[in-house]
């Protein structure tokens, strides 16, 4: 393995995994969540991971997002081997490079919309102003409201603003529309598309709503802990056109 080769790849490859395995439990009760996944995710794309519950897609997202570690195999983020770094470095990696959006938003109920965004901008380098991030998700008003005073869609947009405010290289979204109605869901997907286009962030969306796949550059189908198929969309749908 040469460094040259490595850095060369990192130019257009956000993630690379080799033989990534995740086993929960031991012995007879062991569950193989990931069975030796080999994958490359190009930088700057919207990638949708599709698959039924328990197929391993969330596990993969958690590992490459630095929330969890694989049992075996290697994970590379650009030229950094995530599977080899310490917990503190993993925290650093999340802080500097990664934004997360969750199904249940995970906002701090004790902070206002603006403060939730500032929570991140305070610690991340090179981040945008909180107002700018909220603007990006279409929330100009109600920024001084607490999560309890916001609708589900608004909360999710705050969560996205919080995730993108640091100009993350990668944005991870786990079922981002799972708790939303279709209209609000479409708004949220549109925000994700905008982020991808304006910030150039790689966006990884885990979902079992197959329709979402229409807006992706690349769709990875998951089943039984491994990749079944990878398709590249020739033409991508606008979020407005997505039905579910």
Binding interface with another protein (CB under 8 A)? 62, 65, 67-68, 87-88, 91-92, 94-96, 98, 100, 102, 104-112, 115-116, 118-120, 122-124, 144-149, 152, 155, 162, 179
CB closer to another protein, 98 vs 189: 98
As measured in angstroms, the least distance from the Cβ of 110 to another protein is 4
As measured in angstroms, the least distance from the Cβ of 84 to another protein is 19
Measured CA to CA, the distance from residue 239 to residue 26 in angstroms comes to 43
As measured in angstroms, the least distance from the Cβ of 150 to another protein is 9
- In angstroms, the Cα distances linking 122 to 10, 115, 118, 159 are 28, 10, 6, 16
As measured in angstroms, the least distance from the Cβ of 133 to another protein is 13
CB closer to another protein, 74 vs 102: 102
CB closer to another protein, 24 vs 244: 24
Contact (CB, 8 A) for 147 and 155: yes
CB closer to another protein, 2 vs 25: 25
As measured in angstroms, the least distance from the Cβ of 98 to another protein is 7
CB closer to another protein, 104 vs 244: 104
Measured CA to CA, the distance from residue 99 to residue 181 in angstroms comes to 23
CB closer to another protein, 112 vs 207: 112
As measured in angstroms, the least distance from the Cβ of 94 to another protein is 4
């Amino acid at each position: 393995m040469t460094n040259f080769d490595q850095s060369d790849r990192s130019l257009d490859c956000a993630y690379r995994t080799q033989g990534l395995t995740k086993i929960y439990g031991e012995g007879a009760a062991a569950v193989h969540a990931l069975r030796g996944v080999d994958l490359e995710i190009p930088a700057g794309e919207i990638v949708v991971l599709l698959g039924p519950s328990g197929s391993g897609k969330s596990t993969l997202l958690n590992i490459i997002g630095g929330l969890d570690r694989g049992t075996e195999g290697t994970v590379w983020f650009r030229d950094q081997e995530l599977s080899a770094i310490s917990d503190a470095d993993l925290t650093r990696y999340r802080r500097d490079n990664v934004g997360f959006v969750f199904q249940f938003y995970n906002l701090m109920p004790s902070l206002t919309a603006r403060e939730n965004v500032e929570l991140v901008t305070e610690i991340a380098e090179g981040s945008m102003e909180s107002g700018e991030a909220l603007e990006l998700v279409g929330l100009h008003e109600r920024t001084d409201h607490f999560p309890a005073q916001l609708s589900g869609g608004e909360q999710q947009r705050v969560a996205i603003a919080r995730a993108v405010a640091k100009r993350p290289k990668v944005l991870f979204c786990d079922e981002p529309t799972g708790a939303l109605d279709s209209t609000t869901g479409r708004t949220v997907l549109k925000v994700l598309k905008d982020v991808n286009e304006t910030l150039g962030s790689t966006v990884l969306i885990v979902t079992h709503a197959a329709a979402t796949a229409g807006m992706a550059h690349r769709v990875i189908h998951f089943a039984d802990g491994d990749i079944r198929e990878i398709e590249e969309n020739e033409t991508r749908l606008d979020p407005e056109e997505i039905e579910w």
